[in-house]
């Protein structure tokens, strides 16, 4: 189920982005952006970070959440040739690989 981004008025002026899950539950609220254009650029940045960002544990104790190796991430495609290709892009044509590594 896909979620969504929602632009809302910030209490102190400007705009904020609310990220909602597929059921409409609040997942995150952004910082305040001065304009709608800046907020939309913030959505683009959030998408990039969510797709490629590392998880850093800055909590007290810093204990790993998952024990053992993490599952391998794979790209899901609608066609047959690249199905299950690693996210690194080695099995993707150069044009598609360029989109994976912004």
Domain segments of the chain as ranges: 4-52, 72-102
Per-residue H/E/C for the chain:
CCCEEEEEECCCCCEEEEEECCCCCEEEECCCECCHHHHHHHHHHHHHHHHHCCCCCCCCCCCCCCCCCCCCCECCCCCCCCCCCECCCCCCCHHHHHHHCC
For residue 60, the model assigns a pLDDT of 84
For residue 83, the model assigns a pLDDT of 43
Q: Which CATH architecture has domain 4-52?
A: 2-Layer Sandwich (3.30)
Each residue's pLDDT, cut to its tens digit, for the chain (102 residues) gives: 689 999 999 999 999 999 999 999 999 999 999 999 999 999 999 999 988 988 888 888 776 666 556 555 555 555 544 444 444 444 444 444 444 444
């Amino acid at each position: 189920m896909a979620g969504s981004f929602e632009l809302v008025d910030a209490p102190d002026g400007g705009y904020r982005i609310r990220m909602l899950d597929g059921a409409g539950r609040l997942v995150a609220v952004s910082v305040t952006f001065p304009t709608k254009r800046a907020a939309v650029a913030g959505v683009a940045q959030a998408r990039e970070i969510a797709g490629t960002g590392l998880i850093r544990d800055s909590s007290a104790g810093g204990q790993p959440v998952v024990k053992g190796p993490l599952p391998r991430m794979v790209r899901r495609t609608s066609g047959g040739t690249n199905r299950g290709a690693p996210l690194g892009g080695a099995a993707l044509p150069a044009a598609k690989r360029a989109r994976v590594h912004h």
